């Protein structure tokens, strides 16, 4: 987390996407002292920022024209490409567009090429940790793109991240995020398999999970159960994970890699997440 006050010449940061994770990220940027400008379709989305310093932009185009870095934390690659198309004619020379959402590497590469044609740069910088890590300013930021743009944006990323890792060329950040998500879902499938066997033995599953967390079997997938993954949100998370696994499969197919077996097991882990949580909760 960045504790160093930013300089008076700090870049102006634009932000679009005040959702579950984007809102605390935008707040952290303002709290770190960066000039923050935000655009939102609905004025009500800006209300949670009332106690931090920011300016509201009237349009996507106005935001692009007034910022040195524009961060996007929106739902899909289609959303990102639509916004970038709106912004490109209005970007400042040398501006950087940052995509913090999860997508496929091919889109990141295409956006980088389009931005370079306009004298701008694009970074794919998806984050991991969810809203709790965003609120604690402890996200992991996985970055792909040109090193000079990464270095310029590093202090901004550090405002909401515990770890910022530059993984290589455009698309490398998205590749890392997709592998991260796939491994989480594979681990969920393994947990479901083990607890199903344990249930047949009549073992106290709650006690078993707690002791597994203390042993060499410990994983984020275990720790998230009944903490971030709860009965009230598990169906939604299951659907989001399945979509992420489909992105993983698309990325592998784009690269000419057969990952069908991994994809199917990961999808099983995502889709069976509600059943796993129900089993653990009796």
| Model pLDDT for residues 2-51, shown as the tens digit of each residue | 444 565 689 999 999 999 999 999 999 999 999 999 999 999 999 999 99
Name residue, tokens 């349009």.
59
Measured CA to CA, the distance from residue 29 to residue 2 in angstroms comes to 10
Give backbone dihedrals phi and psi of 14, rounded to 5 degrees, phi first.
-100, 150
Structure confidence at residue 282 as a pLDDT band (50, 70, 90): confident
Asked whether 12 and 67 are in contact (CB, 8 A), the reply is: yes
- For residue 1, pLDDT beyond 70: no
Asked whether 61 and 113 are in contact (CB, 8 A), the reply is: no
Digit-coded pLDDT (tens) for 72-97: 999 999 999 999 999 999 999 999 99
Going from the N-terminus, what domains does the chain have, and what CATH number goes with each? Answer: 13-169 (3.40.50.720), 176-280 (1.10.1040)
The pair of structure tokens assigned to 239 is: 């659907």
Which pLDDT value is given to residue 9? 81
Mean pLDDT of 246-265: 98
| Angle of CA points 97, 101, 104, to nearest 5° | 95
Residues 6+ apart with CB under 8 A from 77: 101, 103, 104, 107
Which pLDDT value is given to residue 8? 67
The strand pair at 127-128 and 161-168 is best described as unpaired
Digit-coded pLDDT (tens) for 91-147: 999 999 999 999 999 999 999 999 999 999 999 999 999 999 999 999 999 999 999
**Mean pLDDT across the chain, nearest whole number?**
96
Name residue, tokens 């969810």.
130
- For residue 273, pLDDT beyond 60: yes
Digit-coded pLDDT (tens) for 171-194: 999 999 999 999 999 999 999 999
Which pLDDT value is given to residue 2? 40
Which pLDDT value is given to residue 144? 98
């Amino acid at each position: 987390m960045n504790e160093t006050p930013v300089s008076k010449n700090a870049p102006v940061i634009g932000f679009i996407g005040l959702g579950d994770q984007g809102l605390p990220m935008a707040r952290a940027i303002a709290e770190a002292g960066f000039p923050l400008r935000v655009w939102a379709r609905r004025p009500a989305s800006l209300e949670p920022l009332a106690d931090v310093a920011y300016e509201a932009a009237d349009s996507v185009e106005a935001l692009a024209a007034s910022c040195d870095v524009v961060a996007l934390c929106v739902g899909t690659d289609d959303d990102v490409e639509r916004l970038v198309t709106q912004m490109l004619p209005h970007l400042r020379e040398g501006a950087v567009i940052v995509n913090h959402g999860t997508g496929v590497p091919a889109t990141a590469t295409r956006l980088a090429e389009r931005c370079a044609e306009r004298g701008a740069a694009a970074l794919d910088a998806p984050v991991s940790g969810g809203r709790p890590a965003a609120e604690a300013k402890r996200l992991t930021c996985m970055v792909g793109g040109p090193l000079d743009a990464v270095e310029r944006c590093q202090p901004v990323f550090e405002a909401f991240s515990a770890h910022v890792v530059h993984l290589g060329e455009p698309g490398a950040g998205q590749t890392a995020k997709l592998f991260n998500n796939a491994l989480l879902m594979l681990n969920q499938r393994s947990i479901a398999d083990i607890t199903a066997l344990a249930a047949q033995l009549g073992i106290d599953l709650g006690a078993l999970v707690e002791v597994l967390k203390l042993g060499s079997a410990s994983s984020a997938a275990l720790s998230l159960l009944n903490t971030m993954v709860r009965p009230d949100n598990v169906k939604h998370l299951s659907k989001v994970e399945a979509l992420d696994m489909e992105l993983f499969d698309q990325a592998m197919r784009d690269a000419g890699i057969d990952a069908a077996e991994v994809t199917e097991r990961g999808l099983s882990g995502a889709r069976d997440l509600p059943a796993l949580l129900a089993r653990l909760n009796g």
